[in-house]
Amino acid sequence: MIKTIRREICRFFYEAIAKHLPRTSCRIFGMPSCKWRDHLYRCITGSKAKKININRMCHFENDVIIGDRSGIGANSFLHGPTTIGKCVMIGSDCYIYTRNHEFDRTDIPMIDQGFKGKKEVIIEDDVWIGSRVTILPGVRIGKGSIIGAGAVVTKDVEPYSIVGGVPAKLIKKRK
């Protein structure tokens, strides 16, 4: 009960104040802003991650796990459940979705069909995700991969792959 109340108070301060503070790269207020967002993230999720960087205007759900030394770019939106490994760089304006609308029936408007079940997104260690990338439900991005800016990732990405495009396709392997 007390844990839930504390989590909700931290969520309030994050949404009302911390996410609006200056970017991490701001010379004067950047580091205090980053540390404040980092502290509130850990309070909200119970994470023990070290040296994370959540930039301004990011939204994340309570079941988003961010690994040590990983960063989320400005204006990104992360649905949960999502697991982000260590040393992951996520650019600005990225979206990670873990559920989708139902649309199978044609006799009922899609807006009235509800949602499909959530499918976890997993981003393994040492991944670089460019700006404005969209990752769809159930995707696993393998270790050491690079996702090109603007890509829409609809299926799993093998380790050490470079992918890009809409939908994202293999460009080349890193090793």
Catalytic residue set: 101
What's the CA gap between 147 and 138, in Å, rounded?
16
> Which string of DSSP letters, residue by residue, matches 115-143?
BPPP--EEE-SS-EE-TT-EE-TT-EE-T
